[in-house]
Amino acid sequence: MATGNNNQRGFWASRLGFVLAASGSAIGLGNVWKFPYITGENGGGAFVLIYLLCIAAVGLPIMLAEFTLGRKTNLNPVGAFQALKPGSPWVGIGFMGVAAGFLILSFYGVVGGWTIAYVVKSITRSALNFQSPAEAGDFFSTFIGNTEEILFYHALFMAICMVIVIKGVHSGIERACDILMPTLFVILLGLMIRSLTLPGAMEGVRFYLYPDFSKLSPGVVLVALGQAFFSLSLGMGAMLTYGSYLSERENLTSCAVYVVIFDTMIALLVGMVIFPAVFAMGLEPAEGPSLVFSVLPTVFSSMPMGGVVAVIFFALLVIAALTSGISLLEVVVAYFIDQKGWPRQKAVLFASLVIFAFGVPSGLSFGAMKDVTFMDMTFFDWVDNIASNYLLPLGGMLMAVFVGWVWGTRAAHEEIEKHETRFHWADQWSFLIRFVTPVAVMLVFLAHFF
């Protein structure tokens, strides 16, 4: 079997570097693009509340479990389960994770491409000067229907991911996250103030924060759970892989808490930017994947220095998307490096090309292939739905069962307490990981299917 600590792998330089890189993986299009549009589609406040519950009861315990598995084995998801239970079917969790990473990156790269295009279009000012969100929305629809442009930006996004991942975790991934995440936070704060002071904004705040429980259904809860996994990069071994590059001196618990708090704060903040503006401008909150791209350019068009803010905002969003994209790619790449013994460069080139090719139909799902649907869903919708709402929660649930019952919480405690780190929440965590997390995910699946 392959060993983890070979030279092709590398380590994080510091704890801060790790927390920022893991936050970089978590914070991305999931927070800025997906969270507002699915909150809008699923009724607002009540959805947000369920989402927060999923984060606390399911997301945080699994985050710690993934970090622990990764640091214990220093391996990719497939290798990790093989090392802890050789020859058992549990290695299937790892394969599922690699598959989920593959699928998610295939459509993530498409949306990442949209954000690069919006940097360019903000610089040339073609995506500015909109009088109404309808105008901005039309502009966006025309753009995502344009095959050449979409393919070009999609390819560009994947190429940048590829170059960063070839450089490896330390010089590539860690550096990219250090300054950019805090800057994104500050810009969002500014935009929130702008949104909240628009006339009619309070209606949006109400939609976003006041829970109307009549809007809940098992389907809505499943989407909230899926989003918790997606946003925190859980259930597929991305956090496991990042944990595998972490040194034994670091405190896993506090790292997990920081990452969860940062990610959740950014998502909540984005909601406070989008929904007040949506209502102030008389838009429909349930508009779907184009929501952010019709609301924000309209906000930028109407504000002083809007052009500059737009460029900075979309540039930061590209970077946030890249730091998530590279974590998705890294899972697939780590698999080829550790399990197949490939050199990093070959693994990265191969994985990026195949993922890009598989993503092409997702890119065309808003234009040339918009009418190619199955059960009313486009290729893009299918890939997103299968990966985010099924593979991630299922992967997370199996990991919880594995840590709670197969590998054992005692072994996990030992890993967490290395180097005299005290694990104050050991009992609570064990309870969550053994009972609450698996049962919650199972119930959500059952409720949805029956």
Tokens 């800057």 sit at which residue?
183
* Minimum CB distance to ligand PHE, residue 420 (Å): 32
Residue from 23, 31, 74, 290 in contact with ligand PHE (CB under 6 A): 31
The distance of closest approach from Cβ of residue 266 to ligand PHE in the complex, given in angstroms and rounded to an integer, is 9
29 near ligand PHE (CB under 6 A): yes
Report the residue number, 30 or 109, with the smaller CB distance to ligand PHE.
30
The one segment of 39-47, 279-287, 322-330, 356-364 that binds ligand PHE by CB under 6 A? 322-330
Taking CB under 6 A as the binding criterion, the range among 27-35, 53-61, 111-119, 216-224 that sits at the site for ligand PHE is: 27-35
Q: Minimal distance in Å, beta carbon 26 to ligand PHE?
A: 5
As to burial, measured by CB atoms within 10 angstroms (0-12 exposed, 13-18 middle, 19+ buried), residue 218 is middle
DSSP states along 336-399: HHHHH---HHHHHHHHHHHHHHHHHHHHGGGTTTTT--BTTB-HHHHHHIIIIIIIHHHHHHHH
Applying CB under 6 A, which of residues 23, 73, 233, 365 lies at the interface with ligand PHE?
Answer: 233
Q: Taking CB under 6 A as the rule, does residue 328 contact ligand PHE?
A: yes
Q: Using CB under 6 A, pick the residue from 107, 130, 230, 429 that binds ligand PHE.
A: 230
User: Residue 252 interacts with ligand PHE (CB under 6 A)?
Assistant: no
Do 8 and 334 meet the contact criterion of CB atoms below 8 Å apart?
no
Which of these segments, 28-36, 38-46, 282-290, 412-420, binds ligand PHE (CB under 6 A)?
28-36
- Span of 23-31, 180-188, 365-373, 437-445 interacting with ligand PHE by CB under 6 A: 23-31
Q: How far does Cα 204 stand from its chain's mean position? A: 25
Residue 96 CB partners (closer than 8 Å, separation 6+): 236, 391, 394, 395, 398
* One-letter identity of residue 164: I
Q: Which of 17, 28, 40, 395 binds ligand PHE (CB under 6 A)?
A: 28
In this structure, is the dihedral angle defined by the CA atoms of residues 71, 75, 77 and 80, taken in order, positive or negative?
negative
Token pair, residue 240, equals 């496991």
Q: Considering the rule CB under 6 A, would residue 327 count as an interface residue with ligand PHE? A: yes
Helix axes 15-26, 252-280, angle to 10 degrees: 40
Stretch that binds ligand PHE, among 3-11, 173-181, 229-237, 273-281 (CB under 6 A): 229-237
CB-based closest residue to ligand PHE: 30
Q: Looking at 165, 180, 236, 394, which residue binds ligand PHE (CB under 6 A)? A: 236
Size of the site for ligand PHE (CB under 6 A): 15
From residue 322, alpha-carbon distances to 161, 226, 237, 241, 293 in Å are: 6, 21, 18, 17, 18
Member of 23, 25, 68, 301 binding ligand PHE (CB under 6 A): 25
Q: Is 389 in the site for ligand PHE (CB under 6 A)?
A: no
Which SS3 state, helix, strand or coil, does residue 17 take? helix
Question: What is the rounded CA–CA span in Å between residue 256 and residue 432?
Answer: 15
Shortest Cβ 183–ligand PHE spacing (Å): 17
Angle at 70 between CA 66 and CA 71, to 5 degrees: 120
324 counts as binding ligand PHE under rule CB under 6 A: yes
Rank residues 233 and 253 by Cβ distance to ligand PHE and give the closer one.
233
Closest CA to 325 of 292, 352, 290, 346: 352
CB 156 within 8 A of CB 359: no
Q: Which of residues 93-112 bind ligand PHE (CB under 6 A)?
A: 104
Binding residues vs ligand PHE (CB under 6 A):
25-26, 28-31, 104, 230-231, 233, 236, 238, 324, 327-328
